[in-house]
């Protein structure tokens, strides 16, 4: 039975907004994590923060740094392994686990990946975002028997919001 919902789609199409609207509509206090890019720094770089729900960015939560002018991204897998794994474990007593978002940056964070896959085997419903790309980890998430992947587009996002809201209500009330 599929009890976990992961949204996928193009960048800036509204996946995280759907998650926030579902949380607000249901009045939930979920556990889990979210990622958030910080402001552009003077050298043209930007930090990606790995945060618990409701947490503000802080220097001890920098999970990656994107360098300007196409110079790439440097990931800090230990932040995913330590902070991300802890946030997922703590969320196991929540009514809903948020995973916003799973992508390529955590490809070397084996402990984090194990925590995600373990949570997918659990009974607490998960609502998340999975990047629309092929990696062994993301493929495992998408193909997990408890996962329903929904593609969000600009044209269907309001319909998807209503569908996800109804599905999370069903999962939450079990």
pLDDT > 80? residue 2: no
Buried b (16+ CB within 10 A) or exposed e, 114-148: ebbeebbeeebbbbbbbbbeeeebbeebbebeebe
Is residue 58 a part of any domain in this protein? no
Across residues 110-123, what is the average pLDDT?
Answer: 97
| pLDDT at res. 171 | 78
Is residue 70 a part of any domain in this protein? no
pLDDT > 60? residue 174: no
How many domains does the chain contain in total? 1
Query: Whole-prediction pTM value?
Result: 0.94
| Band (28; pLDDT cuts 50, 70, 90) | confident
Is residue 30 a part of any domain in this protein? yes
- Domain containing 15 equals 4-35+76-172
pLDDT in tens, 39-79: 998 988 999 999 999 999 999 999 999 997 667 999 999 99
pLDDT > 60? residue 1: no
Output the average pLDDT for the chain: 94
Is residue 53 a part of any domain in this protein? no
Is residue 48 a part of any domain in this protein? no
First to last CA, the chain: 13
Kindly report the CATH number assigned to the domain that includes residue 142.
3.40.50.300
User: Using the 8-state DSSP alphabet, how is residue 154 labeled?
Assistant: T
Is residue 57 a part of any domain in this protein? no
Across residues 141-145, what is the average pLDDT?
Answer: 97
| Band (83; pLDDT cuts 50, 70, 90) | very high
Is residue 27 a part of any domain in this protein? yes
């Amino acid at each position: 039975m599929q009890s976990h919902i992961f949204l996928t789609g193009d960048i800036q199409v509204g996946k995280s907004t759907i998650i926030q609207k579902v949380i607000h509509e249901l009045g939930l206090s979920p556990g889990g994590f979210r990622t958030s890019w910080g402001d552009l720094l003077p050298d043209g770089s930007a930090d990606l923060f790995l945060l618990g729900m409701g947490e503000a960015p802080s220097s001890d939560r920098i999970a990656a740094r994107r360098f300007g002018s196409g110079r790439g991204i440097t990931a800090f897998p230990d932040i995913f392994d330590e902070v991300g794994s802890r946030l997922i474990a703590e969320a196991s007593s929540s009514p809903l686990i948020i995973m916003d978002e799973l992508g390529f940056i955590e490809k070397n964070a084996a402990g984090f990946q194990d925590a995600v896959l373990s949570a997918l085997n659990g009974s607490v419903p998960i609502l998340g975002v999975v990047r629309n790309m092929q990696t062994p980890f993301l493929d495992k998430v998408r193909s997990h028997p408890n996962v329903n992947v929904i593609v969000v587009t600009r044209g269907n996002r309001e319909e998807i919001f209503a569908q996800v809201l109804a599905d999370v209500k069903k999962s939450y009330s079990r």
